[in-house]
């Protein structure tokens, strides 16, 4: 126990509240997860979700965005609460209630930078993952269930991609996450019926086959997906 300036006193004991971020990306058609190597005890040297304490004056989702930036150097777009995890004993030091957020980011143009609390940051293939610290395995499972569920109901897969993308890339994201093959024609029919992407008119050339049309999120859909983002 630290004895230096114990400035905050309460009549009853208070838990700590943290946020943990489950960040998915797709690289080379594989689903991957962003993990940090813990620099301090407990679980020093183990891999864990990026996360940290919620400040007294910030919203939960703001804390998630900030912690992620601090610990990994990444700024995030899509963000969704997965749930609160608070089993007593999940942190061996003290009672900690963690609010988990899931996020999805494009695999391109990222620079990872391990922050102060982390010895290391890197992408891990989702399957198999290394053993995770605390109850982070459980949290990851819940977040993955969320994504698979949403993926089959709405078009969130473009969150994994840069602003302009081809339909084949979009399809590969779906295949990476659900772990299966999809029929190209049926997939495109489904995309069209959702009315969430539109062609840009540009093409991706330079490869030794027919160039693919580039698409972007349509304006109507962009407005919607902003609303969906942060639940407090």
Partner DNA sequence: ACAAAAGTGTTTATATTACACCCATGC
Partner DNA sequence: GCATGGGTGTAATATAAACACTTTTGT
Site for a second copy, rule CB under 8 A = 2, 4-17, 53-54, 56-60, 81, 83-88, 95, 97, 99, 138, 142, 231-232
Report how far residue 52's alpha carbon sits from residue 66's, in angstroms, rounded to the nearest whole number.
9
Nearer to DNA, 178 or 225 (CB): 178
Report how far residue 131's alpha carbon sits from residue 148's, in angstroms, rounded to the nearest whole number.
22
Q: Does 212 bind DNA (CB under 7 A)?
A: yes
Q: Beta partners for 172?
A: none
Report how far residue 147's alpha carbon sits from residue 135's, in angstroms, rounded to the nearest whole number.
19
Report how far residue 167's alpha carbon sits from residue 175's, in angstroms, rounded to the nearest whole number.
12
172: which residues sit within 8 A by CB, 6+ positions away?
26, 29
Report how far residue 202's alpha carbon sits from residue 163's, in angstroms, rounded to the nearest whole number.
13
Nearer to DNA, 90 or 204 (CB): 204
Q: Does 189 bind DNA (CB under 7 A)?
A: yes
> Least Å distance between CB 23 and a second copy?
19
Nearer to a second copy, 39 or 83 (CB): 83
Q: Which of 58, 183, 195, 198 binds DNA (CB under 7 A)?
A: 183
Residues found near DNA in the complex (CB under 7 A): 166-168, 183-186, 188-190, 193, 203, 205-213
């Amino acid at each position: 126990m630290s004895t230096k300036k114990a400035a905050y006193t309460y009549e009853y004991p208070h838990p700590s509240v943290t946020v943990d971020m489950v960040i998915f990306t797709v690289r080379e058609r594989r689903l991957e997860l962003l993990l940090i190597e813990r620099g301090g005890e407990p679980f020093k040297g183990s891999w864990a979700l990026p996360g940290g304490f919620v400040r007294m004056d910030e919203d939960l989702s703001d804390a998630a965005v900030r912690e992620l930036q601090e610990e990994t150097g990444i700024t995030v777009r899509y963000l969704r609460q997965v749930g609160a995890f608070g089993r007593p004993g999940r942190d061996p030091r003290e009672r900690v209630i963690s609010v988990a957020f899931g996020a999805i980011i494009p695999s391109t143009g990222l620079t990872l930078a391990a922050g102060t609390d982390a010895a290391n940051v890197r992408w891990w293939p989702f399957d198999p993952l290394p053993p995770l610290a605390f109850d982070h395995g459980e949290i990851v499972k819940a977040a993955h269930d969320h994504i698979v569920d949403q993926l089959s109901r709405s078009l969130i897969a473009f969150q994994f991609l840069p602003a302009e993308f081809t339909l084949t890339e979009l399809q590969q994201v779906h295949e990476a996450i659900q772990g299966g093959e999809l029929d190209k024609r049926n997939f495109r029919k489904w995309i069209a019926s959702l009315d969430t992407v539109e062609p840009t008119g540009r093409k991706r050339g330079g490869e030794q086959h027919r160039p693919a049309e580039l698409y972007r999120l349509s304006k109507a859909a962009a407005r919607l997906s902003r609303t969906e983002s942060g639940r407090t």
